[in-house]
Amino acid sequence: MNSTSIASSPSPSTVQKQAAALGALVHRSAWATSNPNPLTRLALHNVRSAFGECVEVVADILQAKCGRTLRQLLLLLKPEMDAPTVRAALLVLMQHSLASFQPSTNTYNFHLDAALRILRWPRYLECTKKIIDETAAWVLESLMLQGRWRTVDLLAHVSVPKKSDRYTSREQVLQALYKLVHMGCVIPAKPLASPLDKEEEQELIVDSKVTEEPPTKRVKIEEPFSTCEENFEDPTVIALLEGSAHYKATLPIDTVWKVNAAFFHDRLRANTLGKLVHERFGAKIPSCGSFVQAALLHRVTLKHGKQHSERDDVSLFTPQDLIQHMPKPVLQTLEKRSGGVLNNLTLSLQELSRLQHPTVLRLHADDLFEVDITSLMEYLHKRMANKIVCDRSGETAGRILSILSVLGSLESDKIAQHAMVPVKDTREILHRMYRQNYLELMTLNRSASTSMQHYVWLVAEQFSQVIVRDTAQALYNLRLRRQRQVQVGKEWIERAQQASVTEENDHETDRVNYQKFCVGLERLDHAVLQLDETLMILRDFQFR
């Protein structure tokens, strides 16, 4: 990891002039460090797109330096960024759980995983619309943009776009927030370690003198946090919260809420594994994917929701537990068979537990089952990795990878024999995969004579990390490609917006170009969503 200081970088004006002269795309800050890790570059690009250049610069320094104190940040960023700007950027990062403050070491640390999850906000909103309603998705989106919010402030500032004849706007927001908290979509946020202790406040004052800022400006920055208007609480909101017993118990007035990303990842994992089981065994056992999805959704409910299970292990379930999570068409199909829903469901689960490659269910008792998440995730990872290798290096390379994954280490002649490919072509593919860091070459029987040595090929130990890195690099390139396309088509977008106002810009050529531009953007967005889903499965889905 390169730890080049920001102070040694050229000035932003020079970089922007050079980029403008060459026609390049300025997608990173002029003071950003040169980090070769694609995951880091993708995370910083997400931060820049969501919060701006100043926040990205501070996040880049924290990531490159593995945590820094406020004084070190000010020294690295001086004189390009003043103390109030750095402090505001840190507060934005902490507000959105992208950084944390460690009181023991007095340092700030950047959270890479949280920055990568910014791309998944639309998935979270779409999932919320399906499991609750649009009002809950609107409340969740407002909370995402704010980062953290008190109960009172959320009810006071969020208004529903679609009004209801039965409930007021605040009552709708209150009901949506209650559902989000009850299901586990939103959780209480831990108190932030205050970065404004006496030592750091003194550092801010000292550095503000270095940057020659007037003291009155600093007083104006601190003043709004202590005004009575900011701390004013609407009595109607308090009355709504205290008017019902379940609202008062579930939604305390001073509780600060944040989005629970683990809930949505578990929910999306349930959908993904359900589709996988349906594709693998759907012909043998109808609706088997719905059974696995319902079992995982039951686990999500017990793990994140307010419901409690009589069993200590939330991964265990009975057929009766799945009924409330299964689709109505599947229940109707089971009900039409002889024996009823529960009996047919039990027989299907028992039959599903006997299937292998991969193992789907483990039977603990006559009516007690557990989904083998580890086996399913390993199978899914191998399947996706093989698909990535096939797309990049060809079907023969994917076949060779599967052979080495099963048989271990082999010589090139044996690999050619198993893959049914000529030896010359096999060696070319092996060396190509070796350059891509997919395979390793190991020497056996070392001796003075080179003729006594044997060379065997095997899958690299870092193969999974290489796949994740390549996926992140492709996603990062697509994001830059889309950003470039938007800049190129900015004139078409403006002309399309003005076409409804003035007839002068309404031309057939402009409409055709604008339609082509929109189709290109739609393809890029679709590719970004696919790659982000691949990265989420390979990196973020847990094996347990």
Structure confidence by residue, pLDDT tens digits, 354-412: 999 899 999 988 789 999 999 999 999 999 999 999 999 999 999 999 999 999 889 99
Both 491 and 451 in a single domain? no
How many domains is the chain partitioned into structurally?
5
- CA–CA separation, 521 and 64 (whole Å): 32
Both 517 and 442 in a single domain? no
| % of the chain residues with pLDDT over 90 | 54
Question: Which one-letter DSSP state was computed for residue 37?
Answer: -
Q: Would the pLDDT of 466 be above 90? A: yes
Q: Which one of 61, 77, 112 terminates a domain?
A: 112
Residue with tokens 């994001």: 479
Residue 47: CATH number of its domain: 1.10.10.10
Residue with tokens 């103390």: 83
Q: What contacts 24+ positions apart, CB below 8 Å, involve 250-255?
A: 250/178, 250/181, 250/182, 250/306, 251/151, 251/174, 251/177, 251/178, 251/181, 252/151, 253/150, 253/151, 253/152, 254/150, 254/151, 254/152, 255/150, 255/151, 255/188
513 within domain boundaries = yes
Q: Which of 90-94, 100-104, 486-490 has the highest mean pLDDT?
A: 90-94
187 is in which domain, residue-wise?
A: 119-192+235-259
Both 39 and 169 in a single domain? no
Question: Which one-letter DSSP state was computed for residue 282?
Answer: T
Both 437 and 487 in a single domain? no
Structure confidence by residue, pLDDT tens digits, 28-84: 555 555 667 899 999 999 999 999 999 999 999 998 878 888 888 888 888 788 888
- CA–CA separation, 225 and 203 (whole Å): 20
**What pLDDT is attached to residue 212?**
43
Q: Which one of 426, 460, 494 terminates a domain?
A: 460
21 within domain boundaries = no
Structure confidence by residue, pLDDT tens digits, 247-306: 888 888 889 999 999 999 999 999 999 999 999 999 999 999 999 999 999 999 999 987
**Could you tell me which residues come within 8 angstroms of residue 54 by beta carbon, excluding any fewer than 6 positions away?**
81, 85, 88, 89
CA-to-CA separations, 464 to 3, 131, 381, 400, 467, in angstroms, rounded: 26, 33, 9, 16, 5
**Could you tell me which residues come within 8 angstroms of residue 117 by beta carbon, excluding any fewer than 6 positions away?**
261, 540
- CA–CA separation, 131 and 190 (whole Å): 26
Structure token digits, residue 68:
């820094």
Q: Which one of 460, 482, 513 terminates a domain?
A: 460
**Could you tell me which residues come within 8 angstroms of residue 530 by beta carbon, excluding any fewer than 6 positions away?**
none
Both 281 and 341 in a single domain? yes
203 within domain boundaries = no
Both 420 and 475 in a single domain? no
Both 302 and 359 in a single domain? yes
Residue 204: how many other CB atoms lie within 10 Å: 22
Q: What angle do helix axes 134-146 and 121-131 make, rounded to 10 degrees?
A: 150
Both 400 and 355 in a single domain? no
105 within domain boundaries = yes
Both 86 and 108 in a single domain? yes
199 within domain boundaries = no
pTM of the model: 0.82
Both 421 and 399 in a single domain? yes
Both 423 and 328 in a single domain? no
205 within domain boundaries = no
423 within domain boundaries = yes
Both 147 and 250 in a single domain? yes
381 within domain boundaries = no
